[in-house]
Chains A and B, each alone.
Chain A
Amino acid sequence: MIKAVLVMNTQGKPRLAKFYEFQPVEQQQEAIRNVFSVLCTRPEHVSNFVDAESFFGPDSRLVYKHFATLYFVFIFDSSENELAMLDLIQVFVETLDKCFRNVCELDIVFNYSKMHTILDEIILGGQVLETSSTEVMRAIEEIARLDAASNAINLVPKSVSGWRSR
């Protein structure tokens, strides 16, 4: 099962942290710090796998991928396949990219809750739920549509006023 999903930037600032087993805030912070300290010392063009047993307990592996200013990190146990997890990161990023059209770090910061929504469509309770970014996008759009419908009254004036001010 997947134990945690972390997104952090190259300065070590967490951008998204999701732990599938509850961990107190301090431990989360420590885990993030530890992961970052390992990742930033890894040279380029080496494998994407890191042994994570020293900070996530026995039977933990870590797969990361470095995109622009961000590290995407998945921590999981032996019931998952490393290469497949690497592709799952790919799925996640592809979905983000579709969702935000050329995703960048800013999108991730500002759309914190949407990130979680997307992640929840891909991974549920630590298990891989969906691996097709098209499917994920469809689910997300459906949620967004309902959100918009329930929110319409509030939204319209704001966007209109925003429009006029330009």
Chain B
Amino acid sequence: MEQLKTLGRELAMGSHGQSKEFLDLIKSIGEARSKAEEDRIVLREIETLKRRINDADTPKRKMKEYIIRLLYVEMLGHDASFGYIHAVKMTHDDALLLKRTGYLAVTLFLSDDHDLIILIVNTIQKDLASDNYLVVCAALNAVCRLINEETIPAVLPRVVDLLNHSKDAVRKKAVMALHRFYQKSPSSVSHLLSNFRKRLCDNDPGVMGASLCPLFNLVSDDANSYKDLVVSFVNILKQVAEHRLPKTYDYHQMPAPFIQIKMLKILALLGSGDKQASGHMYTVLGDIIRKSDSMTNIGNAVLYECICCVASIYPNSKLLEAAADVIAKFLKSDSHNLKYMGIDALGRLIKLSPHIAEQHQLAVIDCLEDPDDSLKRKTFELLYKMTKSSNVEVIVDRMIDYMISISDDHYKTYIASRCVELAEQFAPSNHWFIQTMNKVFEHAGDLVNIKVADNLMRLIAEGFGEDDDAADSQLRSSAVESYLRIIGEPKLPSVFLQLICWVLGEYGTADGKYSASYISGKLCDIAEAYSNDENVKAYAISALMKIYAFEVAARRKVDILPECQSLIEDLLASNSTDLQQRAYELQALIGLGAEAVETIMPRDASCEDIEVDKNLSFLNEYVQQSLERGARSYIPEDERTGMGNMNNFRSQDHNESLQHGLRFEAYEVPKAPMQPKAAPVSFASSSDIVPVPEALSSRETHHISSVGSISEAGSSELKLRLDGVQKKWGRPTYSSSASSASDSYSTSQKPTNGATQVDGATAVNSKVRDSYDSRKTQVDITPEKQKLAASLFGGSTKPEKRSSTSHKVPKSNAADGAQGSKAAVVPNEVAVEKTIHQPPPPDLLDLGESAVTTAPSSVDPFQQLEGLYDPSISSGIADNVGATTNATDIMGLYSESTGSGSYSIPVSGNNANLLSELSNAPVKATSGETITTPLPQSIKGPNAKDSLDKDALVRQMGVNPSSQNPNLFSDLLG
């Protein structure tokens, strides 16, 4: 008997077409000790398959096996494209088994724009019209995967016909296929969308459930056109929740939970911000929350979805309370899954009722310290949502600690940007902001947006405002000090080093604490330590230049350290022209007199406006001279012919080739000879042009080169027509020169708005004091966690009193913080964005006090009802136990026989019974299986209300209603 069973098992495997060869293949792959060995085996297999598949004599049944082996090979990551065409051929076969295999293979092999698809479309069309519904199903399967925008019209009519097929399995799949079309190309099925509404009242609840998927998509794209369905959805949901569906739709004693979940998702979308629509939902939501069984996984899934729905629709205080209770249950649970969902749900609800987090502060902190990464990240998400200026320090510190501890770059980037965002938005003080940014840069510098560095430089440069110079310089010297400390660390990110160099250059010697030679020595160290990073070197040399310039301007003697000297000499001979230029400038600058240096490089002037003479009026004289000498006058860009847009070389090229490939006019003869060299040279050094506003910018050298190129352009008549060519090496000429010069200064160019800055600064100051004071009173609780809780939630474990205060504090603080950051922390546009991001808390906090009182403990009829479930659950478990013992028996036999069999099983440890793993979950009640066929339709009244009435009547009369009531949904929509 035992032998027979194992025999049967082997036969069953064999009957699926797998031969000994396939078993051997799997066995040898399983035994392969290295990836290389596995690859060798698979490549050999591919060779065999190639040979056999291309053999015309291969019988079809063998062919099927080969195709499956091909699929297997491709799953292991090898190319099986040589067999695609054979898979396509197999779809043409008449035998269902072969056809199915063919379809399976092509859906796994081909993308929807593969060339071979065109060979399948015809077959699909034919199969969709087949009499055998299994063939139709197979074709629909393929349709979902293989049909793309272009081929939709070819199959669309057939699929639409199938929506009315007699088999519900087909109708269901047809709905899904149509949904797929909508996803791929909404316009192609836009005229058919009403079909989804129609299917909502299908006689078969399964089809109704399937139609929810497309409706969910449609509603999320455009909720307004589906508001009329709210009542229907609510009705259906109610009936589902009341166990009116056939028993076969139950899952772990829950009535059709997947349908409920989809429905709740749709209702959440429809009720969002719509008071009237939400009004319809309150009752049913309350019912479901009350009734759902929180002992099973799926019951909790429904509960969670209810919370999401409650959080999304127009708020209702009772429901919010109920949701808060459910969250409390989730968070108190031992299951990590439930905690995860609880934290997520808390994050959703916290926008509506900020106080609910306070009850759960310890739970939240536990989650934060949990070894489970997913849970931790979810908790950070929650903390991010509840950050305000009173707890920003704790939260950001935690985030940074976590950021340092992980190696996943993707998440590191994410959390770093979160830190920056929070710090910019809520920073209690500039000093803290700088320290925080330093940490972020130090540990994730290369992952942070470069803009953040600009912001930080700007903050250090602008400081608090104009009236408080002492605070500004204190801020700067603390920044300088922290940077001098940090540069000792190995391997700092490039962006951070650039920032450090800039700050050291600007403010390193400003407070007189550090000597110029000390700072310049440090800068040299940086340039040497990161000698293959040109950007860092460029920043370092510019910083050196500033340091020396300040020394010269202060009439002190500049003594250049030997290592600085050698660095400069290195850079003078550098391959990079940028570095070279900076080095030459530095050299030239040191040679100048104090007065000149002072004008070129004034101290602490990074915030000053640089006036740019866009008309280049200082060149007028030169232009005049050139004209007198016979140069041609400048032709404005738009009047020129044969010239595209100068600013964009590529598009210009493109235009030119499009408009005219060749010029047929002869080149013009130059009017008068001129000496080509003299003019450009006179403009090459910056000291010659002395208009004051421009001189400021000689720190960087862009404008010089652009000036140079202009003069070149003016005098270029003689040599060549350089109109198009010159662009290759020079900067953009003509009109763009001025703007390019100003671009490079945009970081320091914004006019300072005195009024807002003063406001912001004082606001920040006062706020800082506020929050510090308020926190000090709470810190004296001893346990670590409570302290953390207090700083996170702004209250101790007793929430009642504090909840009201902490309501007000964050509100005002949030406003202050936004204002403060606007003026002092971030560039204006960003700050405005931030303030928009943070909508004022809605005015529904009236329930603040009432929410503290816990759930009503009145006797719930449904809880009593729950007792009725128990026997079935326990019987389910008993069943399960029986099954497992039984199962292990069989497995034992199985392994015995394999020992004696001709081949050994390659996969180790796989004999453990999967079912035994299932034993935690209650197994589906077996009773459900007896009634599986849906009853015939009809009998019930013509519309839902009638049928509901009838149903109620039947109940009143004491007759247990049969579980089937398939017609309930029909005609809901007329």
* A interface residues, Cβ below 8 angstroms from B: 1, 9, 13-14, 16-18, 20, 22, 24-26, 28-29, 42-43, 45-51, 53-54, 66-70, 79, 81-84, 86-88, 90-91, 93-94, 96-97, 101-106, 109-114, 116-117, 120, 124-135, 138-139, 142-143, 146-147, 150-151, 154-155, 158-159, 162-163, 166
Establish whether residues A54 and B411, one from each chain, have CB atoms under 8 Å apart when the complex forms: yes
| B contact residues vs A (CB 8 Å cutoff) | 3, 7, 11, 13-16, 18, 22-23, 26, 29-30, 61, 68, 71-72, 74-79, 95-97, 100-101, 104, 108, 110-112, 132, 134, 140-141, 144-145, 169, 172-173, 176-177, 179-180, 183, 206, 210, 213, 216-217, 220, 248-249, 251-252, 257-258, 261, 265, 297-298, 300-301, 304-305, 335-337, 339-341, 370-375, 377, 408-411, 887, 890-891, 905, 907-915, 917-918, 921, 923-924, 928-929, 932
Complex CA gap A36/B14 in Å reads 31
A84 CA to B7 CA, complexed, in Å: 38
Asked if B297 and A159 sit within 8 Å, CB to CB, the answer is no
What are the residues of chain A within 8 A of B340 when measuring CB–CB? 47, 49, 82
A79 B337 Cβ-Cβ under 8 A: no
Q: Are A134 and B928 in contact (CB under 8 A)?
A: yes
Query: Would you list the 9 A-B pairs with minimal beta carbon distance, nearest first?
Result: A125-B144, A83-B301, A54-B410, A105-B910, A46-B372, A47-B336, A22-B111, A29-B77, A68-B912
**Majority DSSP secondary structure for residues of B touching A:** helix
Closest residue of chain A to B98 (Cβ to Cβ) is: A150
| Shortest beta-carbon distance from A143 to chain B in Å | 6
Q: Which residues of chain A are near B261, meaning CB under 8 Å?
A: 81, 84
Contacts of A45 in B (CB 8 A): 336
> Known: A25-B79, A51-B374, A110-B23. Is A158-B7 also a contact (CB below 8 A)?
no
Minimum CB distance partner of B296 in chain A = A87
Is the CB–CB distance between B924 and A133 below 8 Å?
yes
- Complex Cα distance, B441 from A121, in Å, reads 51
Could you say which of B75, B298, B301 contacts A14, with CB atoms under 8 Å apart? B75
Q: Which of B16, B71, B134, B409 contacts A114 (CB 8 A)?
A: B16
**Judging by beta carbons under 8 Å apart, are B176 and A129 in contact?**
yes
Question: CA separation between A104 and B68, bound complex, in Å?
Answer: 20
Tell me the minimal C-beta distance from A8 to chain B in angstroms: 10
- Are B337 and A22 within 8 A (Cβ)? no
Please name all residues of chain A whose beta carbon is closer than 8 Å to the beta carbon of B374 when the two chains form the complex.
46-47, 49-51
CB <8 Å contact, B179 and A127: yes
A81 adjacent to B304 (CB under 8 Å): yes
Show 5 residue pairs from A and B whose CB-CB distance is below 8 angstroms, ordered by the A residue.
Answer: A47-B374, A83-B297, A93-B914, A104-B911, A124-B176
- Docked-complex contact A159 and B914, CB < 8 angstroms: no
When A87-B298, A104-B914, A106-B910 are in contact, do A154 and B16 touch as well, CB less than 8 Å? no
Residues of chain B contacted by A79 (CB below 8 angstroms): 216-217, 220, 265
Tell me the bound Cα distance from A111 to B101 in angstroms: 12
- CB neighbours (8 Å) of A22 from chain B are 110-112, 145
A112 contact set on B, CB distance < 8 A: 68, 71-72
Contact A94 B918 (CB under 8 A): yes
Q: Are A104 and B912 in contact (CB under 8 A)?
A: yes
**Which of chain A's residues have a CB closer than 8 A to the CB of B917?**
66-68
A113–B87 CA distance with the chains assembled, in angstroms: 14
Closest residue of chain A to B913 (Cβ to Cβ) is A102
Set of chain A residues within 8 Å of B172, measured between Cβ atoms: 129-130
Q: B100 — which chain A residues lie within 8 A by C-beta?
A: 113, 117, 143, 147
Given A84-B258, A109-B26, output 11 extra A-B contacts at Cβ < 8 Å: A43-B371, A47-B336, A48-B336, A68-B909, A81-B261, A90-B297, A94-B918, A126-B180, A129-B210, A146-B134, A155-B15
